[in-house]
Chain A
Amino acid sequence: MIHRVEVGVREDREDAAGRRLARRIGDDLGLRVETVRVVEVYTIECDAPVETIAAFAADALCDPVLQHHAIDARLPGSFDWAAEVALRPGVTDNVGRTAGEALALHLGRPLGPDELVACSRQYRFSRGPARPEDRPRIVEGLLCNLLIESYRLWEGDTAVWFTAHVPRVTLDHQPRVRTWRLDLSDEELLRLSRDNVWALSLAELRAIEAYFRRPDARALRAREGLPPEPTDVELECLAQTWSEHCKHKIFSARIRYQGPDGAEREIDSLFRTWVRGTTEAVRAARGDRDLCVSVFDDNAGVVRFLPDWHLVFKVETHNSPSALDPYGGALTGIVGVNRDPFGTGLGARLFCNTDVFCFAPPDWKGELPPRLLAPRRVLEGVREGVEHGGNKSGIPTVNGSVVFHERYLGKPLVYCGTGGILPARVGDREGHRKYHAPGDAIVMVGGRIGKDGIHGATFSSEELHEGSPATAVQIGDPITQKRMTDFLLVARDAGLYSGLTDNGAGGLSSSVGEMARQTGGADLDLTRAPLKYAGLDPWEILLSEAQERMTVAVPPDRLPEFLDLARRMGVLATVLGSFTDDGVFRVRYDGKVVAALHMDFLHDGLPRLELRARWNAPAPAPVRPPAPQDLGAVLERVLARPNVCSKHYWVRQYDHEVQGGSVVKPLCGARGTGPSDAAVLRPVLDSPRAVVVAHGIAPKYADLDAGAAAFSAIDEGIRNAVAAGADPDTLVGLDNFCWPDPVAGPRNPDGEHKLAQLVRTCEALHQACLAHGIPLISGKDSMKNDYQHGDVRISIPPTLLFTVLGQIPDAARAVTMDFKRPGETVYLVGRTAEELGGSEYFALLGETGGVPPAARPEEQARLYRKLHAAMAEGLVSACHDCSDGGLAAALAECAFAGDTGAEIDLRPLAADGLDRDDLLLFAESNGRFVVTARLGSEARFETRMAGLPCRPIGRTHPGGRLRITGLEGSVVLDRDVRELEAAWRAPFDFAGEDREDGHA
Chain B
Amino acid sequence: MPERCRVFVLAGNGTNCEVETAHAWRRAGADAADIVPIWDWAAGRRSLDDYEILTFPGGFMDGDDLGSARACAHRLRHTAPRPGGPTLLEEVVAFVRRGGLVLGICNGFQLLVKIGLLPNGHEDPRPTTTLGPNARGRFEDRWVRLVTDPASPCLFTRGLGEFELPVRHGEGRLLFADGAVRRAAVERHLVPLRYALQGLPTDRYPFNPNGSEEAAAALTDPTGRILGLMPHPEAFVTRTQHPRWTRENVPEEGAGLRLFRNAVQAVRNSPAP
Binding site for B on A (CB under 8 A): 9, 13-14, 16-17, 19-20, 59-61, 63-67, 94-95, 97-99, 101-102, 105-106, 387, 391-394, 477-479, 482-483, 486, 490, 568-570, 651-665, 667-670, 672, 682, 685-686, 811-812, 814-816, 818, 820-821, 898, 991-993, 998-1000
Render B207-234 as a binary contact track against A, CB cut-off 8 A, 1 for contact: 0000000000000000000000000101
Q: Is the pair A479, B136 in contact by a Cβ cutoff of 8 Å?
A: no
Q: Is the pair B175, A479 in contact by a Cβ cutoff of 8 Å?
A: no
Inter-chain CA distance A94–B60, complex, in Å, is: 13
Q: Is the pair A98, B246 in contact by a Cβ cutoff of 8 Å?
A: no
Inter-chain CA distance A909–B243, complex, in Å, is: 34
Q: Is the pair B240, A814 in contact by a Cβ cutoff of 8 Å?
A: yes
Q: Of B71-79, B96-104, B150-158, B258-266, which stretch is located at the interface? A: B71-79
Most chain-A CB neighbours within 10 Å: which of B142, B177, B239? Answer: B142
Q: Which of B126-154 contact A (CB under 8 A)?
A: 127-130, 132-143
Inter-chain CA distance A20–B134, complex, in Å, is: 11
Q: Is the pair B137, A660 in contact by a Cβ cutoff of 8 Å?
A: no
Q: Is the pair B141, A654 in contact by a Cβ cutoff of 8 Å?
A: yes
* Contact of A60 (CB < 8 Å), options: B12, B40, B74: B74
Q: What is the CB-to-nearest-CB distance from A649 to chain B, in angstroms, rounded to a whole number?
A: 10
Q: Is the pair A486, B37 in contact by a Cβ cutoff of 8 Å?
A: yes
* Contact of A653 (CB < 8 Å), options: B70, B140, B176: B140
Chain A residue numbers with a CB within 8 Å of B138 are 20, 653, 991, 1000
Chain A residue numbers with a CB within 8 Å of B16 are 393-394, 658-659
CB-CB under 8 A for A670 and B136, given A98-B62, A570-B13, A654-B141: no
Inter-chain CA distance A659–B141, complex, in Å, is: 13
Inter-chain CA distance A973–B13, complex, in Å, is: 56
Inter-chain CA distance A656–B168, complex, in Å, is: 9
Chain A residue numbers with a CB within 8 Å of B19 are 659-660, 685
Chain A residue numbers with a CB within 8 Å of B7 are none
Q: What is the CB-to-nearest-CB distance from A868 to chain B, in angstroms, rounded to a whole number?
A: 17
Inter-chain CA distance A653–B137, complex, in Å, is: 11
Q: Is B49 an interface residue (CB 8 A)?
A: no
| 6 closest Cβ pairs, A-B complex | A394-B16, A660-B20, A20-B137, A1000-B136, A98-B65, A65-B130
Q: Is the pair B132, A59 in contact by a Cβ cutoff of 8 Å?
A: no
Chain A residue numbers with a CB within 8 Å of B12 are 483, 486, 569
Residue of B nearest to A17 (CB): B137
Most chain-A CB neighbours within 10 Å: which of B59, B66, B70? Answer: B66
Inter-chain CA distance A653–B205, complex, in Å, is: 15
* Contact of A63 (CB < 8 Å), options: B67, B166, B168: B67
CB-CB under 8 A for A665 and B75, given A66-B130, A392-B14: no
* Contact of A102 (CB < 8 Å), options: B59, B71, B128, B137: B71
Residue of B nearest to A651 (CB): B141
* Contact of A105 (CB < 8 Å), options: B37, B70, B75, B235: B75
Chain A residue numbers with a CB within 8 Å of B239 are 812
Q: Is the pair B62, A479 in contact by a Cβ cutoff of 8 Å?
A: yes
Q: Is B82 an interface residue (CB 8 A)?
A: no
* Contact of A479 (CB < 8 Å), options: B14, B130, B177: B14
Inter-chain CA distance A661–B241, complex, in Å, is: 7
Residue of A nearest to B64 (CB): A392
Q: Is the pair B136, A20 in contact by a Cβ cutoff of 8 Å?
A: yes
* Contact of A13 (CB < 8 Å), options: B23, B139, B168, B175: B175
* Contact of A652 (CB < 8 Å), options: B43, B78, B140: B140
* Contact of A655 (CB < 8 Å), options: B39, B127, B128, B168: B168
Q: Which of B39-63 contact A (CB under 8 A)?
A: 39-40, 43, 58-60, 62-63
Pairs A–B under 8 Å by Cβ, sample size 14: A16-B135, A20-B137, A59-B74, A60-B74, A67-B67, A94-B63, A394-B59, A479-B60, A479-B65, A651-B141, A652-B142, A653-B138, A669-B247, A685-B19
Q: What is the CB-to-nearest-CB distance from B206 to chain A, in angstroms, rounded to a whole number?
A: 6
Q: Is B112 an interface residue (CB 8 A)?
A: no
Inter-chain CA distance A702–B14, complex, in Å, is: 43
Q: What is the CB-to-nearest-CB distance from B107 to chain A, in angstroms, rounded to a whole number?
A: 10
Q: Is the pair B127, A64 in contact by a Cβ cutoff of 8 Å?
A: yes
Q: Is the pair A999, B136 in contact by a Cβ cutoff of 8 Å?
A: yes
* Contact of B246 (CB < 8 Å), options: A19, A490, A820: A820
Q: Is the pair A816, B137 in contact by a Cβ cutoff of 8 Å?
A: no
Chain A residue numbers with a CB within 8 Å of B206 are 993
CB-CB under 8 A for A101 and B241, given A65-B130, A653-B139: no
Chain A residue numbers with a CB within 8 Å of B58 are 658
Residue of B nearest to A570 (CB): B39
* Contact of B243 (CB < 8 Å), options: A97, A106, A668, A814: A668
Q: Is the pair A670, B63 in contact by a Cβ cutoff of 8 Å?
A: no
Q: Is the pair A60, B71 in contact by a Cβ cutoff of 8 Å?
A: yes
* Contact of B74 (CB < 8 Å), options: A105, A387, A999, A1000: A105
Chain B residue numbers with a CB within 8 Å of A656 are 141
Residue of A nearest to B209 (CB): A652
Q: What is the CB-to-nearest-CB distance from A10 to chain B, in angstroms, rounded to a whole number?
A: 10
Q: What is the CB-to-nearest-CB distance from A557 to chain B, in angstroms, rounded to a whole number?
A: 23
Q: Is the pair A391, B60 in contact by a Cβ cutoff of 8 Å?
A: yes
Residue of B nearest to A99 (CB): B66
Q: What is the CB-to-nearest-CB distance from A487 to chain B, in angstroms, rounded to a whole number?
A: 9
Q: Is B237 an interface residue (CB 8 A)?
A: yes
Residue of B nearest to A103 (CB): B74
Q: Is B17 an interface residue (CB 8 A)?
A: yes
Residue of A nearest to B12 (CB): A486
Q: Is the pair A663, B240 in contact by a Cβ cutoff of 8 Å?
A: yes
Inter-chain CA distance A682–B129, complex, in Å, is: 37
Inter-chain CA distance A672–B248, complex, in Å, is: 13
CB-CB under 8 A for A660 and B136, given A13-B175, A99-B66: no
Inter-chain CA distance A102–B175, complex, in Å, is: 25
Residue of B nearest to A1000 (CB): B136
Q: Is B114 an interface residue (CB 8 A)?
A: yes
Q: Is the pair A61, B234 in contact by a Cβ cutoff of 8 Å?
A: no
Inter-chain CA distance A95–B74, complex, in Å, is: 15
Inter-chain CA distance A669–B243, complex, in Å, is: 8
Residue of B nearest to A649 (CB): B138
* Contact of A98 (CB < 8 Å), options: B66, B205, B232: B66
Inter-chain CA distance A686–B20, complex, in Å, is: 10
Q: What is the CB-to-nearest-CB distance from B70 to chain A, in angstroms, rounded to a whole number?
A: 6
Q: Is B5 an interface residue (CB 8 A)?
A: no
Q: Is the pair A569, B37 in contact by a Cβ cutoff of 8 Å?
A: yes
CB-CB under 8 A for A16 and B137, given A66-B132, A105-B78, A394-B17: yes
Q: What is the CB-to-nearest-CB distance from B249 to chain A, in angstroms, rounded to a whole number?
A: 12
Inter-chain CA distance A685–B143, complex, in Å, is: 21
Q: What is the CB-to-nearest-CB distance from A768 to chain B, in angstroms, rounded to a whole number?
A: 29
Residue of A nearest to B14 (CB): A479
* Contact of B137 (CB < 8 Å), options: A99, A651, A814, A1000: A1000
Chain B residue numbers with a CB within 8 Å of A812 are 239-240
Inter-chain CA distance A814–B239, complex, in Å, is: 12
Q: Is the pair B127, A65 in contact by a Cβ cutoff of 8 Å?
A: yes
Q: Is B11 an interface residue (CB 8 A)?
A: yes
Beyond the given A64-B130, A653-B139, could you list 14 further A-B residue pairs with CB under 8 A, ordered by the A residue number? A16-B133, A20-B138, A63-B114, A65-B132, A106-B74, A483-B14, A653-B141, A662-B241, A669-B247, A672-B142, A686-B23, A816-B247, A1000-B136, A1000-B138
Q: Is the pair B143, A672 in contact by a Cβ cutoff of 8 Å?
A: yes
Chain B residue numbers with a CB within 8 Å of A479 are 13-14, 60, 62-63, 65
Chain A residue numbers with a CB within 8 Å of B63 are 94-95, 98, 392, 477-479
Chain B residue numbers with a CB within 8 Å of A61 are 66, 70
Q: Is the pair B74, A102 in contact by a Cβ cutoff of 8 Å?
A: yes
Inter-chain CA distance A478–B62, complex, in Å, is: 10
Inter-chain CA distance A667–B140, complex, in Å, is: 13
Chain B residue numbers with a CB within 8 Å of A13 are 132, 175
Chain B residue numbers with a CB within 8 Å of A663 are 240-241
* Contact of A569 (CB < 8 Å), options: B39, B135, B137: B39
Q: Is the pair A16, B240 in contact by a Cβ cutoff of 8 Å?
A: no
Most chain-A CB neighbours within 10 Å: which of B63, B64, B70, B130? Answer: B63
Q: What is the CB-to-nearest-CB distance from B6 to chain A, in angstroms, rounded to a whole number?
A: 20
Chain B residue numbers with a CB within 8 Å of A391 are 60, 139, 168
